[in-house]
C-alpha cells in the first residue's frame, strides 16, 4: 500500500537529498557524543574512594521499585510531586515510542517488537494521553517555576546563580518533544482522513487528536512538510536532550536509578573512615576524612550528579530553617559544580584545592545537627550525614576545631565526659533518689539489666532528673538493674558525628569492655543518642532498649500500673516531639506515643511536623558547646510549632530535647503557657504501683 | 627560624577540683588530669605558624619527669619538629631561677633564634621566661599577643592594661612569653599523638647538659614553698540563703540601698 | 637590713595606685626601715611625680633620661641595675610592666624573685615569708624567700590599701648613675583598644558576665537584667576570647578598669586579673554555682546559684517593682 505521506526514511529534501541520511547521522552523532560525555563524567567516580554498595541486592531492588519506579517519596510535596510523577511516568511510557521513532527514521515501517497487535493498540492509545499529560504537567511546572517561584528554589547570592533558566529550558525541551511527536503523528492521521482511508484511531482530547483536527483541512504538501519537520525536530531534540542531561541538574534522569539502587540501607550509623580498612588499621592511614574532592567516595560523586536541586532537603533542614550557613542541597550542588569545572569535558583535569575554604566553609559543616531530615526527604536517595561527618573528620585531622569545642573534646578524652567532671562523681545523681536503689555494677555487684546513663544525664543538673525518672520506672517495673558508675564513659555518639573517630573508638572500646565485664543480659537507656550508637555501632554487647519500650512492655504486662490524668492535667494538651535519634534514625515512632497514651484520659495532639518529619531541637552532643550563627533557635521554632498545634505540654524522650525545649520556651516568652517534660518524668508522675 | 618553646605539664584547673592534701604539703593529686599549660600551647601554635611562614623548625622542651613526655608528644602532634626532655633527680625542687638555669643549659646546646614560653603556668609566677632571657643576655618581652617576623628582628605586640597593645621591635635572638588569644591553637586528637608515639625524644640530665647540678634543685633554691592551704575566706561575702524569692527580695533591698537600680 | 626601694609607675605626671600600695608592702617587710621611691622617666612629668612621691616616701631617687620616657622594661632594668645597690629589696607592682621587668631584674641584680605576692607575713633573719596563690587562685601557699643578697618582689595590685601618711623625703637625682641604656628592644607605640559602643569605664552599675553563661545565646538574659536595672553589660576575659562580647566590655587588667557603684559578677569566678580591673570599692554582688569561687571572698553579697536560672528570675522581680 502506498503510504499517505512519505516517511522520513524515504523523503528527499529538495527532491534529491535523502533525509534518511539525517536519520542515521543524528543518532550516531548523538549517541557518540553522549558516550563521550558519560565517559568523562565517570572519571571522578572511578577516581573516588571506595564505597561498599554491592550487598543485599534484593533490598536494593525493592528500593528501586518503591522509591525510583514507585516515586514513593514524591507526594510528600503534593503539587511538585504529582507533576513530577506525571512527567516521570510519561517519560517511561514515551521512551518506547521515542526509540521506535528513531528507527522509523531509517526504516519507515518499523514497529517496536511486541507493539504490532492489541498490545500496541493499547500502548498507542495511552502514549498519546501520556504525551498530553506530560505536556500539560510541563506547562504547569513552568508556570510554577518561572512565575510563582516557590521559596525553596531561591538561590542565596553566595551560592551562585539559580537554576530557574535551566529548569525552564528543560521544560521547554520536554514540551517540544511532546508537541513534535504528536504533530508527527497528527499529520499522518490527517492525511489518512483526507484520502478517506481508514484513519488510525487517535485518543480523543490528546495533543495528537487536537493537531489532527487543526490540520484536517491543510494541504497535503503542508502535512508532508510538517510531518518531516516535526520528525526531525523530535529527533534532534531527543538527542540534544540526551547529551544535555549530563550537563546539569537533569543528570538525575540518568543517574537516579543507580543512585536509588546504591542508596544507604542502614540508618543510625556513620560509614567507616575508609571502606576496607579495619578499626585496628586506622592508625596506618595517612589522612582521615574528606579534605579534597577526590577523598569523597564514588557514591558521594554519584549523589552530586543526581541532585535535581528540588530543594526538599533544605526545606526540611532545621539548620537552614533557622538561617545557619548550611543548606544541604548546596552541599551537593557546589560539589557538582566543582566536579564539572575540575573534571571538564575536554582538556586536563584541574588540580584540587582543599574543599574547606574553597567551596565549603567551616561553619557550614559545623552547622549540621545530623538530624537526618534531609536524607529522609530526598526522593532519590542522596545522603548527607556521611559526607558531613567525613568533612568534619578531615577538619579534625587538620586540627581545625573551633576553640570552644576543644575543651569538651579534651575533657572527653581525659575524663570521659564533656564537662571535665571527675569520673568518681558520675553516679552522684543517684544520691538524691528516694525509694529506689540504683546498684553500681562492679566485680561484686551484678544485675540483669544495665541502665546506660551517658554523660549528659549523669552530670547536667536538669538532665539528671531524667536519669532519676528512668531509675524509678525501672524500679517500679521490677527490673533488676544497675549502672556502671565511674566505669561508664560517654557513649561517643556525638563524638563520632563530630568527626573525632579515634576518640570515639577509645570511648566505645572502653564501654564495650565495661559492659561485658558487668555481665548484664540487657541494656536500657533513656538517651536516644546513647541508644543509637549502642544499638547500631557497638558490637558484641547485649540488646539495647529505649526506656519507652520498657514502659510499653511494662504497661502491657501489668507490671507497670499507671493512673489516669489528674484534674489539673485534664486542662492540658500534650504533644510528642520525636527525637531525631529515636525516630528518623531508629524508626521508633509508636512506642513513646503508646507510652503517653497509656495514661488514661490524656489529651494528645500531633504537631504538623511529626514522626519522620520531626524538627530537630538543635541537637545534642557537642553542639551544646558550640552554635553557629543563626537567626532563631531551632528549639524556638519547634516550640512555636507545638503552640500552633494547640499543645501546652511538649513531651520528649531525650534529655537533649528536654533542655533545648525548656530553654526555647523561655526564649520564646511562653513560660506559663507551655512546658516541656521528659516522657520518663511524665510516666513517673503517674505510676500507681 | 629555629624556635625553642618551653612547655610545662600542669594539672588542668578547668578539669580538676584542686584540694589540699591532709599534710598540707601538696595538692591532692590522685584524681588529677594533666595537660600542657594553656599558655604554652598558644606559644607552640605561634611557633608552628611562624615556621610555616618563614621556614625553620620548632623544638619543644620541658623540665620534668618521665610523665612530662606526654606533653612533649602532644605538642609534637601539633606540629613541633623535635622534643627535648630535661630530666634529672638533681633538678627536683628547683625554684624559678633553677628552672631558668636548666633551660639556659639546653638553649646553649642548640642554636635557637627565638625562645618562647607561656606567659605563666600553674604557679602563676610568670617568671621563667624573663629569667632565662636575663641569664642568656637576650632581650625579652612578656605577654606577647602579636608577632610579625622581620629580618633579624621581630615586631611584637604586648598586651598591657586597658586592653591596649604595646608595640615593640625586638632583636633576635630573644625570649618572648606568650599570652593566650594570640592565635587559635589547633586541635590534637588521639590520632595525632599516636602518629608521633614512636618518635624518639632525647632525655638530657645535668651531666648531658654540662651544668653544675649543685646550682639547681632543692638545695640551691632560695625561694621555697612551705605548704599549701585553702585561701582564707576572710570576711568574704554575706551569702544570701533561703528560697529564690527570699534571696531576690533581700538582694533587691541591697541594690536599692546601694544605688544599683535606676 | 638592705635598703628598700619601691618602683613607682606613672603616666602623664600622675603616679599609679600601686605607688601608695607598695609603701604598705615595704612596711610589712621592715616596719621601721626607710623606703625609697625610685622613679624613672623624663622631663616635667617626671619631676611632678617625684615631688608628689617625696611627700610620701622617705626619699625619692629620680632617674631622668630621654630613653626612659616610655617605661620599656628592658631600659628600666638597665637603669635600675646600674643605680641600685646590689642587695636592694625592690618592690614592683605585679602588673604587665612588673611581669616584664621583675624576673630579669632579679637575675641581673643576682638576687631572688617572688611574683604575685598577695600577703607579706614578715621576715625572720634573712628570710621573708609571704603568701602566694597557685592553680588559678584555687590554692594558697606560704613561700619563703632568701632576701639576704637582695630581692625583687612583685606585689599584686590592690591587696594593700593605699597609705596616705606623709614621710616627707627629698628628691635625689640619680640620673648620672644610670649609665648606658642601650637595649635590643625598642618601644614603638601603644595601640589603643578599639572603643566599643558602650564605655563601661563610666558606668555606675555593671552587670558583668563570665564563663558561667555557658553559651553565646544565653548572653541575652544578661542584657535583659541590665536593662531592668538600668545598668551596662561588661564581662570577663573568656567571654571576649570566645568572641561573645566585644573587647571594650572586658573588665580586668587586660581589659578596662571600671569604677561603678554596683558591680554584679554573674558567673565570674574572680581571677585577680579580673578583680584588678575593678576599682573604687563598688558594692559587689556575686552569683556563682561554685561556693568556693574566689569571687565570694571579695564580694559584699554572694549567692550560690546557677546564673542561667537566677538571672531571669531576678530580672522578672526587678521588672515587677
Looking at the 3D structure of chain A, how many domains does it have?
A: 4
- Residue C20 reports pLDDT greater than 80: yes
Least Cα distance to B60 among B78, B76, B46, B42 occurs for: B76
Phi and psi, residue A311, nearest 5°: 80, 5
Out of A216, A238, A253, pick the residue that ends a domain. A253
Q: C38: which strand partners? A: C7, C61
Check CB contact of C306 with chain A, cutoff 8 Å.
yes
Give residue for cell 571535665.
A420
Look at residue A45 in the predicted model and tell me its pLDDT. 96
CA distance A380 to A64: 9
pLDDT, mean over chain B: 93
3-state secondary structure of B8: coil
Out of A556, A572, A596, pick the residue that ends a domain. A556
Please check whether residues A316 and A434 belong to one and the same domain. Answer: no
Please check whether residues A594 and A519 belong to one and the same domain. Answer: no
C-alpha radius of gyration, chain C, whole number: 22
Residues in A closer than 8 angstroms to B189, CB to CB, are: 396-397, 409, 413, 500, 502-503
Residues in B closer than 8 angstroms to C17, CB to CB, are: none
Please count the residues of chain C. 321
In percent, the amount of chain C with pLDDT more than 90 equals 66
* Contact at CB, B261 and C314, closer than 8 angstroms: no
- Residue C242 reports pLDDT greater than 80: no
Q: Name the neighbours of C, counting chains with at least 3 Cβ pairs within 8 A.
A: A, B
Angle at B132 between CA B127 and CA B136, to 5 degrees: 155
Residues in B closer than 8 angstroms to A506, CB to CB, are: 190
Please check whether residues A471 and A499 belong to one and the same domain. Answer: yes
Sheet order of strands, C301-304 included: B238-239, C301-304, C283-288, C262-266, C205-209, C232-235
CA distance C262 to C257: 14
Instruction: Please tell me what DSSP assigns to residue A623.
Output: G
C-alpha radius of gyration, chain B, whole number: 22
The answer as to whether B253 is a domain residue is no
CA distance A519 to C54: 80
Shortest Cα distance, chain A CAs vs residue B131, angstroms: 31
Look at residue C201 in the predicted model and tell me its pLDDT. 84
Element (H, E) at A556: helix A547-557
Q: Are B217 and B223 in contact (CB under 8 A)?
A: no
* Contact at CB, A461 and C242, closer than 8 angstroms: no
Residues in A closer than 8 angstroms to B187, CB to CB, are: 396, 399-401, 405-406, 409
Q: Name the neighbours of A, counting chains with at least 3 Cβ pairs within 8 A.
A: B, C
Q: Are C61 and C36 in contact (CB under 8 A)?
A: yes
Shortest Cα distance, chain A CAs vs residue B56, angstroms: 20
C-alpha A273, offset from chain centre = 21
* Contact at CB, C306 and A404, closer than 8 angstroms: no
The answer as to whether B10 is a domain residue is yes
- Residue B132 reports pLDDT greater than 90: yes
Which residue among A422, A424, A500 places its CB closest to the CB of B189? A500
How much is the average pLDDT of C9-20? 92
For residue C307 the three cell numbers come to 546564673
3-state secondary structure of A117: coil
Please check whether residues A217 and A302 belong to one and the same domain. Answer: no
Look at residue C159 in the predicted model and tell me its pLDDT. 86
Please check whether residues A376 and A510 belong to one and the same domain. Answer: no
- Residue B234 reports pLDDT greater than 70: no
Please check whether residues A442 and A535 belong to one and the same domain. Answer: yes
Look at residue B219 in the predicted model and tell me its pLDDT. 94
Q: Are A84 and A167 in contact (CB under 8 A)?
A: no
Residues in A closer than 8 angstroms to B14, CB to CB, are: 407, 420
Q: Rounded to 5, what percent of chain B is helix, strand, coil?
A: 35, 25, 40
Q: Which residue in chain A is spatially nearest to B11 when comparing CA positions?
A: A414
* Contact at CB, B189 and A406, closer than 8 angstroms: no
Looking at the 3D structure of chain B, how many domains does it have?
A: 1
CA distance B232 to A200: 106
Tell me whether domains C4-177 and C200-319 share a fold: yes
Which residue among B78, B184, B189 places its CB closest to the CB of A502? B189
CA distance B89 to B66: 11
Could you report the per-residue pLDDT of B140-184, keeping only the tens digit for each? 999 999 999 999 999 999 998 877 899 999 999 999 999 988 999
Please check whether residues A69 and A214 belong to one and the same domain. Answer: yes
The answer as to whether B223 is a domain residue is no
The answer as to whether B164 is a domain residue is yes
Shortest Cα distance, chain A CAs vs residue C165, angstroms: 49
Look at residue B15 in the predicted model and tell me its pLDDT. 65
Crossing angle, helix A298-306 and helix A252-261, to 10 degrees?
A: 140
Superfamily for C4-177?
HUPs (3.40.50.620)
Residues in B closer than 8 angstroms to C314, CB to CB, are: 248, 251
* Contact at CB, B186 and A397, closer than 8 angstroms: no
For residue A579 the three cell numbers come to 527525637
Residues in B closer than 8 angstroms to A416, CB to CB, are: none
What's the longest Cα–Cα distance across chain B?
A: 69
User: Whole domain around residue B34: which residue ranges?
Assistant: 2-215
For residue A419 the three cell numbers come to 564537662
Please check whether residues A149 and A225 belong to one and the same domain. Answer: yes
Q: Rounded to 5, what percent of chain C is helix, strand, coil?
A: 30, 30, 35
Least Cα distance to B237 among C306, C233, C288, C253 occurs for: C288
ipTM of the shown complex:
0.90
Q: Are B27 and B18 in contact (CB under 8 A)?
A: yes
Look at residue C195 in the predicted model and tell me its pLDDT. 67
Give burial (CB, 10 Å; 0-12/13-18/19+) of B19.
middle
Least Cα distance to C46 among C79, C74, C21 occurs for: C79
The answer as to whether A1 is a domain residue is no
CA distance B129 to B104: 10
Task: Count the Cβ atoms, other than its own, within 10 Å of residue C318.
Answer: 20
* Contact at CB, B124 and C116, closer than 8 angstroms: yes
Which string of DSSP letters, residue by residue, matches C78-124? HHHHHHS-TT-EEEEESSHHHHHHHHHHHHHTT-EEEEEESEEEEEE
Phi and psi, residue B139, nearest 5°: -70, 155
Q: Are A525 and A548 in contact (CB under 8 A)?
A: no
Q: Are A668 and A640 in contact (CB under 8 A)?
A: yes
Check CB contact of B189 with chain A, cutoff 8 Å.
yes
* CA contacts within 13 A on the Cβ side of A665: 20
> Model confidence at B17, in pLDDT bands (50, 70, 90)?
confident
Residues in C closer than 8 angstroms to B42, CB to CB, are: none
Peptide bond preceding C255 in cis form (omega within 30 of 0): no
Peptide bond preceding B173 in cis form (omega within 30 of 0): yes
Please check whether residues A520 and A582 belong to one and the same domain. Answer: no
For residue C202 the three cell numbers come to 563610666
Distances (CA, A) of A452 to A287, A437, A485, A489, A525: 33, 15, 9, 10, 5
Task: Count the Cβ atoms, other than its own, within 10 Å of residue B143.
Answer: 28
Instruction: Please tell me what DSSP assigns to residue B126.
Output: -
Least Cα distance to B87 among B75, B71, B76, B74 occurs for: B71
Q: Name the neighbours of B, counting chains with at least 3 Cβ pairs within 8 A.
A: A, C
CB-defined contacts A:B, below 8 A = 57
The CATH code of the domain at C200-319 is: 3.40.50.1220
Please check whether residues A384 and A407 belong to one and the same domain. Answer: no
* CA contacts within 13 A on the Cβ side of C270: 26
User: Whole domain around residue A94: which residue ranges?
Assistant: 16-253
Instruction: Please tell me what DSSP assigns to residue A432.
Output: G
Could you report the per-residue pLDDT of C95-146, keeping only the tens digit for each? 999 999 999 999 999 999 999 999 999 999 899 999 999 988 778 999 999 9
For residue C300 the three cell numbers come to 559584699
Out of A515, A533, A556, pick the residue that ends a domain. A556
- Mean pLDDT per block of 10 residues along chain A (689 residues) reads 80 90 95 97 95 96 97 95 96 93 91 89 92 95 90 78 86 94 93 86 91 93 94 96 95 97 95 92 92 96 96 95 93 95 92 92 93 96 96 95 85 91 93 92 94 94 94 96 97 95 97 96 97 97 98 96 94 97 97 97 97 89 69 91 97 94 85 94 94
The answer as to whether A264 is a domain residue is no
CA distance C106 to C25: 18
* Contact at CB, C215 and A403, closer than 8 angstroms: no
Check CB contact of B30 with chain A, cutoff 8 Å.
no
For residue C98 the three cell numbers come to 612588673
Which residue among A461, A627, A666 places its CB closest to the CB of C215? A627
Least Cα distance to A314 among A264, A257, A368 occurs for: A368
The answer as to whether B121 is a domain residue is yes
CATH number at A528 reads 3.40.50
Please check whether residues A459 and A604 belong to one and the same domain. Answer: no
The answer as to whether A671 is a domain residue is yes
Please count the residues of chain B. 262
Look at residue A621 in the predicted model and tell me its pLDDT. 54
CA dihedral A596, A598, A600, A604 (to 10 degrees): 30
* Contact at CB, A422 and B17, closer than 8 angstroms: yes
Which residue among C135, C205, C321 places its CB closest to the CB of B18? C135
Residues in B closer than 8 angstroms to C129, CB to CB, are: 226
* CA contacts within 13 A on the Cβ side of A127: 23
Which string of DSSP letters, residue by residue, matches A363-380? HHHHT-----HHHHH-TT
pLDDT, mean over chain A: 93
Amino acid at each position: 500500500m502506498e503510504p499517505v505521506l512519505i516517511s522520513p526514511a524515504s523523503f528527499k529534501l529538495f527532491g534529491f537529498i535523502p533525509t534518511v541520511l539525517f536519520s542515521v547521522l543524528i543518532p550516531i552523532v548523538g549517541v557518540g557524543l553522549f558516550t563521550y560525555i558519560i565517559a568523562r563524567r565517570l572519571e571522578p567516580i572511578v577516581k573516588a574512594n571506595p564505597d561498599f554498595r554491592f550487598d543485599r541486592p534484593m533490598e536494593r531492588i525493592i528500593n528501586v521499585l518503591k522509591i525510583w519506579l514507585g516515586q514513593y517519596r514524591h507526594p510528600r510535596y503534593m503539587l511538585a510531586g504529582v507533576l513530577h510523577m506525571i512527567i516521570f511516568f510519561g517519560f517511561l511510557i514515551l521512551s518506547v515510542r521515542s526509540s521506535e521513532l528513531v528507527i522509523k527514521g531509517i526504516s519507515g515501517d518499523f514497529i517496536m517488537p511486541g507493539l504490532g497487535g492489541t498490545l500496541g493498540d493499547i500502548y498507542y492509545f495511552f502514549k498519546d494521553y501520556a504525551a498530553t499529560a506530560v505536556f500539560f504537567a510541563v506547562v504547569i511546572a513552568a508556570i510554577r517555576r518561572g512565575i510563582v517561584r516557590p521559596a525553596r528554589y531561591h538561590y542565596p547570592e553566595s551560592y551562585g546563580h539559580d537554576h530557574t533558566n535551566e529548569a525552564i529550558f528543560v521544560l521547554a525541551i520536554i514540551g517540544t518533544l511532546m508537541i513534535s511527536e504528536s504533530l508527527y503523528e497528527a499529520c499522518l492521521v490527517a492525511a489518512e482522513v483526507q484520502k478517506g482511508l481508514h484513519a488510525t484511531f487517535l485518543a480523543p482530547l490528546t495533543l495528537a487528536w487536537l493537531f489532527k483536527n487543526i490540520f484536517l483541512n491543510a494541504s497535503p504538501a503542508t502535512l508532508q512538510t510538517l510531518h518531516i519537520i516535526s520528525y526531525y525536530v523530535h529527533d534532534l531534540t531527543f538527542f540534544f536532550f540526551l547529551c544535555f542531561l549530563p550537563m546539569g541538574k537533569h543528570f538525575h534522569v540518568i543517574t537516579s536509578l543507580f543512585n536509588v539502587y546504591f542508596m544507604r540501607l542502614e540508618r543510625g550509623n556513620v560509614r567507616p573512615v575508609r571502606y576496607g580498612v579495619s578499626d585496628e588499621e586506622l592508625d596506618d592511614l595517612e589522612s582521615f576524612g574528606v579534605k579534597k574532592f577526590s577523598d569523597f567516595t564514588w557514591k558521594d560523586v554519584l549523589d552530586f550528579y543526581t541532585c535535581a536541586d528540588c530543594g526538599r532537603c533544605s526545606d526540611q533542614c532545621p539548620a537552614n530553617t533557622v538561617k545557619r550557613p548550611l543548606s544541604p542541597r548546596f552541599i551537593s550542588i557546589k560539589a557538582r559544580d566543582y566536579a564539572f569545572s575540575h573534571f571538564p569535558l575536554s582538556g586536563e583535569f584541574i588540580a584540587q584545592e582543599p574543599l574547606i575554604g574553597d567551596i565549603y566553609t567551616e561553619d557550614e559543616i559545623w552547622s549540621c545537627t545530623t538530624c537526618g531530615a534531609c536524607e529522609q526527604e530526598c526522593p532519590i536517595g542522596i545522603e548527607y550525614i556521611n559526607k558531613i561527618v567525613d568533612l568534619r573528620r578531615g577538619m579534625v585531622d587538620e586540627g581545625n576545631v573551633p576553640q570552644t569545642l576543644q575543651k569538651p573534646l579534651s575533657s572527653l578524652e581525659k575524663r570521659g565526659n564533656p564537662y571535665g567532671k571527675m569520673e568518681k562523681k558520675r553516679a552522684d545523681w543517684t544520691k538524691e533518689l528516694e525509694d529506689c536503689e540504683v546498684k553500681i555494677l562492679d566485680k561484686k555487684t551484678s544485675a540483669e539489666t544495665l541502665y546506660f546513663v551517658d554523660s549528659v544525664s549523669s552530670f547536667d543538673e536538669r538532665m539528671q532528673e531524667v536519669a532519676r525518672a528512668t531509675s524509678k520506672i525501672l524500679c517500679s517495673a521490677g527490673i533488676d538493674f544497675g549502672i556502671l558508675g565511674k566505669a561508664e564513659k560517654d557513649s561517643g555518639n556525638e563524638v563520632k558525628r563530630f568527626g573525632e573517630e579515634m576518640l570515639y573508638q577509645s570511648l566505645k572500646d572502653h564501654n564495650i569492655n565495661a559492659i561485658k565485664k558487668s555481665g548484664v543480659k540487657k541494656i536500657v537507656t533513656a538517651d536516644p543518642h546513647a541508644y543509637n550508637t549502642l544499638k547500631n555501632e557497638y558490637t558484641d554487647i547485649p540488646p539495647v532498649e529505649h526506656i519507652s519500650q520498657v514502659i510499653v512492655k511494662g504497661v502491657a504486662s501489668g507490671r507497670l500500673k499507671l493512673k489516669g490524668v489528674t484534674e489539673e492535667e485534664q486542662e492540658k494538651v500534650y504533644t510528642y516531639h520525636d527525637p531525631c535519634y529515636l525516630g528518623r534514625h531508629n524508626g521508633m515512632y509508636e512506642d513513646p506515643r503508646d507510652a503517653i497514651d497509656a495514661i488514661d484520659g490524656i489529651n494528645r495532639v500531633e504537631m504538623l511536623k511529626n514522626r519522620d518529619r520531626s524538627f530537630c531541637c538543635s541537637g545534642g552532643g557537642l553542639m551544646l558547646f558550640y552554635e553557629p550563627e543563626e537567626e532563631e533557635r531551632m528549639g524556638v521554632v519547634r516550640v512555636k510549632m507545638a503552640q500552633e498545634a494547640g499543645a501546652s505540654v511538649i513531651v520528649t524522650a531525650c534529655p537533649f530535647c528536654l533542655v533545648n525545649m525548656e530553654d526555647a520556651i523561655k526564649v520564646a516568652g511562653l513560660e506559663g503557657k507551655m512546658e516541656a517534660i521528659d516522657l520518663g518524668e511524665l510516666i513517673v508522675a503517674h505510676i500507681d504501683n | 627560624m629555629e624556635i625553642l618553646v618551653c612547655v610545662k605539664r600542669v594539672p588542668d584547673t578547668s578539669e580538676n577540683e584542686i584540694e589540699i592534701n591532709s599534710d598540707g604539703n601538696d595538692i591532692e593529686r590522685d584524681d588529677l588530669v594533666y595537660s600542657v599549660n594553656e599558655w604554652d600551647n598558644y606559644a607552640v601554635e605561634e611557633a608552628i605558624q611562624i615556621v610555616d611562614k618563614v621556614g625553620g623548625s620548632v623544638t619543644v622542651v620541658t623540665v620534668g619527669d618521665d610523665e612530662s613526655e606526654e606533653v612533649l608528644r602532644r605538642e609534637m602532634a601539633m606540629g613541633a619538629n623535635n622534643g627535648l626532655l630535661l630530666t634529672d633527680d638533681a633538678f627536683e625542687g628547683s625554684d624559678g631561677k633553677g628552672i631558668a638555669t636548666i633551660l639556659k643549659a639546653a638553649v646553649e646546646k642548640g642554636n635557637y633564634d627565638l625562645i618562647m614560653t607561656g606567659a605563666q603556668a600553674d604557679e602563676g609566677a610568670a617568671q621563667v621566661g624573663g629569667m632565662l632571657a636575663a641569664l642568656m643576655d637576650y632581650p625579652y618581652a612578656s605577654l606577647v599577643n602579636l608577632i610579625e617576623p622581620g629580618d633579624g628582628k621581630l615586631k611584637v605586640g604586648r598586651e598591657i592594661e586597658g586592653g591596649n597593645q604595646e608595640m615593640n621591635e625586638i632583636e633576635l635572638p630573644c625570649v618572648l612569653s606568650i599570652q593566650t588569644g594570640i592565635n587559635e591553637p589547633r586541635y590534637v586528637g588521639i590520632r595525632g599523638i599516636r602518629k608521633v608515639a614512636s618518635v624518639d625524644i632525647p632525655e638530657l640530665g645535668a651531666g648531658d647538659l654540662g651544668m653544675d647540678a649543685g646550682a639547681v634543685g632543692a638545695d640551691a633554691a632560695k625561694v621555697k614553698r612551705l605548704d599549701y592551704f585553702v585561701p582564707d575566706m576572710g570576711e568574704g561575702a554575706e551569702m544570701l540563703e533561703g528560697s529564690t524569692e527570699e534571696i531576690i527580695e533581700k538582694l533587691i533591698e541591697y541594690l536599692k540601698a546601694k544605688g544599683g537600680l535606676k | 637590713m638592705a635598703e628598700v626601694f619601691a618602683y613607682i609607675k606613672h603616666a602623664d605626671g600622675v603616679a599609679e595606685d600601686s605607688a601608695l600600695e607598695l609603701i604598705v608592702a615595704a612596711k610589712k617587710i621592715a616596719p621601721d626601715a626607710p623606703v625609697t621611691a625610685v622613679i624613672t622617666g623624663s622631663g616635667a612629668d617626671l619631676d611632678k611625680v617625684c615631688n608628689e612621691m617625696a611627700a610620701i616616701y622617705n626619699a625619692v631617687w629620680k632617674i631622668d633620661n630621654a630613653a626612659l620616657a616610655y617605661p620599656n622594661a628592658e631600659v628600666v632594668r638597665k637603669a635600675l641595675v646600674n643605680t641600685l645597690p646590689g642587695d636592694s629589696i625592690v618592690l614592683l607592682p605585679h602588673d604587665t610592666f612588673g611581669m616584664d621587668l621583675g624576673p630579669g631584674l632579679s637575675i641581673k641584680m643576682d638576687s631572688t624573685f617572688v611574683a604575685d605576692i598577695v600577703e607579706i607575713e614578715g621576715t625572720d633573719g634573712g628570710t621573708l615569708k609571704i603568701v602566694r596563690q597557685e592553680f588559678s587562685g584555687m590554692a594558697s601557699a606560704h613561700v619563703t624567700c632568701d632576701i639576704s643578697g637582695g630581692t625583687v618582689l612583685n606585689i599584686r595590685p590592690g591587696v594593700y590599701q593605699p597609705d596616705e601618711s606623709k614621710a616627707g623625703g627629698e628628691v635625689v637625682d640619680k640620673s648620672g648613675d644610670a649609665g648606658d641604656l642601650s637595649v635590643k628592644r625598642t618601644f614603638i607605640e601603644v595601640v589603643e583598644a578599639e572603643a566599643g559602643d558602650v564605655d563601661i569605664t563610666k558606668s555606675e552599675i555593671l552587670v558583668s558576665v563570665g564563663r558561667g553563661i555557658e553559651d553565646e545565646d544565653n548572653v541575652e538574659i544578661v542584657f535583659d537584667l541590665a536593662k531592668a536595672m538600668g545598668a551596662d553589660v561588661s564581662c570577663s576575659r573568656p567571654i571576649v576570647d570566645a568572641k561573645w562580647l566585644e573587647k571594650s566590655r572586658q573588665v580586668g587588667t587586660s581589659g578596662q578598669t571600671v569604677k561603678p557603684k554596683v558591680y554584679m559578677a554573674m558567673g565570674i569566678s574572680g581571677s585577680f586579673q579580673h578583680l584588678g580591673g575593678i576599682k573604687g570599692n563598688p558594692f559587689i554582688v556575686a552569683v556563682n554555682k561554685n561556693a568556693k569561687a574566689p569571687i565570694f571572698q571579695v564580694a559584699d553579697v554572694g549567692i550560690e546559684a546557677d546564673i542561667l536560672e537566677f538571672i531571669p528570675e531576678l530580672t522578672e522581680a526587678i521588672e515587677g517593682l
